[in-house]
A and B are shown apart, each in its own frame.
Chain A
Amino acid sequence: MDNFLGQFGPATVGGLAIGSIYALVALGYTMVYGVLRLINFAHSEVFTIGGFAAVGVFLMVGVSAPVGGFALIGLLLLTVLVAMAASGGTALLLEQVAYRPLRKHGSSRLAALISAIGASLFLQELIKLVIIPHVFGQSNGAIQLQNMPRVIDKTPLFSIGNAPIRLDHVIIVVAAVIMMVLLDRLVNGTRVGRGIRATAQDPEAAVLMGVNIDKVVRTTFLLGGAMAGVAGVLYLLYFENLDYRVGFVVGIKAFTAAVLGGIGNLRGALLGGFVLGLVESWSSIFLGAEWSEVTAFVVLVLVLMFRPTGILGESLQRARA
């Protein structure tokens, strides 16, 4: 028990950081599901692309030691913008190539799902066989940023109780919260958002109101992709390594978070992300980090047994998105 109390604080901080990343990625799954009733399995690679875009920026800028102050803010802003563009662009392309043609032919949802899995594998291999060796000049299937100088200082800034807080913790949670607030504003407070909500709640009625569904779908992929891009940057800052498969595990967890919170529900995705991050982190105190994934999925199964629609229990059709 002493062990637990001693580690509870640090585990909570870690859980919130990783939970922020899950939540950002989960938003993309839940938005696309809300609008198209499609699980975009390739969303995990959209996230990975964001991480690689960040590595690219760090290499181009030539960061050689941890930076601080305004230089760090500037670097992070640049990195986030590039990653959002790269991931958002990938998501748009994905929609155009892998989903739109199927939609126009009125194919079944199962066909779209298979297409999603195919696109996911394709992107993984593309990263492994083309991007890593040719863009980054490495061939071991992994980019280990440990070999590179750190971008941000990882010594504790201050402590809350016995939990040391580092700059990367602060950046991750703050950045994630800012992105979530922006997205919430956009979906609930703008004309674009009204179009998205209307399409999620009743696509045919939305057309009758003059909503261009194709545009809504593109916007949804772009927004979800951009969120995943930010998550990719944050992941890189936190773990300082990246390989072509990182998206797979993070993607599955984020998808779990989306289902846990209630798929199709934006606030559910956030809640699910944080719950999952915290549960994983706390459970690893008792069972060791290698069991964290087991507990995460046990929680999912338990929640779904008692609340099949997820914690918030409403889908985007009913929710205010």
Chain B
Amino acid sequence: MLLEVRDIHVHYGKIAALKGVTLEVEEGEIVTLIGANGAGKTTTLKSISGLRPLTSGRIVFDGTDISKLQGHKRVLAGIGQAPEGRGIFPGMTVQENLLMGAYARKGTFREELDEVYELFPRLSERRTQFGGTMSGGEQQMLAIGRALMTNPKVLLLDEPSMGLAPMLVAQIFEIVREINQRGTTVLLVEQNAMQALQLAHRAYVLESGRVVKAADASGLLDDPEVRAAYLGGDLGVD
């Protein structure tokens, strides 16, 4: 097991955001976490990356308990994240943003850079452009590319489809599949449940801070409850 989240509780002040989330990610998988706004998807990813302290529960990564490990040290351990809202450094160029991904490591990163530019030719054309002046889709590519530059064992993606046109979403999801096929494990948080379930191997459904369903992604696509709640049900939307 690459990543194990065991019954974690997280509070913002007195408000409980996570009330016992348990999930597992096997090496080589794409696992998706779906659920409505405020269900705790982003908080789960932030807790895994060490941006939010746990009230209780534990997180085991690659055989080590990292529950107490400081966030910046989890990056070197192999947890990379493209955060919600992309978190691009607006005053840095595309290339500087990508190199920030390699901040924790020593050495030169020519090969890794080339690999990211090969995955995202668009970024290659814009290496000297400032991050803050790019379109939403380009910023998302940059966020994913930057997370890849951390050389992650598991890549956490928080709503990569947010605010993007359908064509771009399809393109980004295709690249996520490609990244996974090259050997990186992916934990994907999405509101766009249909596409996420089509891409992922397994899925968890989160509802007000708890996991309410865990199953193979294809199984959830046919699950009537999931269809009704997250896939538009009979409304015929997407």
Contacts and interface: CB of A to CB of B under 8 A. Distances in A.
Interface stretch (B23-31, B88-96, B163-171): B88-96
Contacts of B64: none
- Which of B51, B72, B80, B83 has the largest count of A CB atoms less than 10 A from its CB? B72
B146 interface: yes
Interface in B56-104: 70-73, 75-76, 80-81, 83, 87-92, 96, 99-101, 103-104
Interface string A182-219: 00000000010011011001101111111111000000
A209 B91 contact: no
B209 interface: no
Contact of A201 (B92, B104, B105): B92
Contact of A318 (B50, B75, B90): B90
Contacts of B99: 194
Interface string B106-144: 000000000000000000000000001000000000000
A318 B91 CA distance: 5
B100 A194 contact: yes
B104 A208 contact: no
A317 interface: yes
A205 B72 contact: no
Interface string A301-321: 000000000000000111111
A197 B92 contact: yes
B150 interface: yes
B197 interface: no
B113 to A, nearest CB: 15
Contacts of A195: 103
B89 A202 contact: yes
A207 B91 CA distance: 17
Contacts of B104: 209-211
B10 interface: no
A319 B88 CA distance: 13
Interface residues of B, number: 30
Nearest to B132: A318
B91 A208 contact: no
A204 B51 CA distance: 7
B83 to A, nearest CB: 6
B49 interface: yes
Given A191-B103, A198-B89, A209-B150, A204 B83 contact: yes
Contact of B72 (A194, A201, A212): A212
Interface in A60-93: none
A202 B97 CA distance: 12
Interface string B31-58: 0000000000000001001110000000
B154 to A, nearest CB: 13
Contact of B103 (A202, A210, A318): A210
B75 A209 contact: yes
Contacts of A204: 46, 51, 83, 87
B196 interface: no
Interface of B: 46, 49-51, 70-73, 75-76, 80-81, 83, 87-92, 96, 99-101, 103-105, 132, 146-147, 150
Interface of A: 191, 194-195, 197-198, 201-202, 204-213, 316-321
Given A208-B83, A208-B147, A208-B150, 15 more contacts: A191-B103, A197-B89, A198-B100, A201-B92, A202-B87, A204-B51, A204-B83, A204-B87, A205-B83, A207-B50, A207-B72, A208-B71, A209-B104, A209-B146, A320-B91
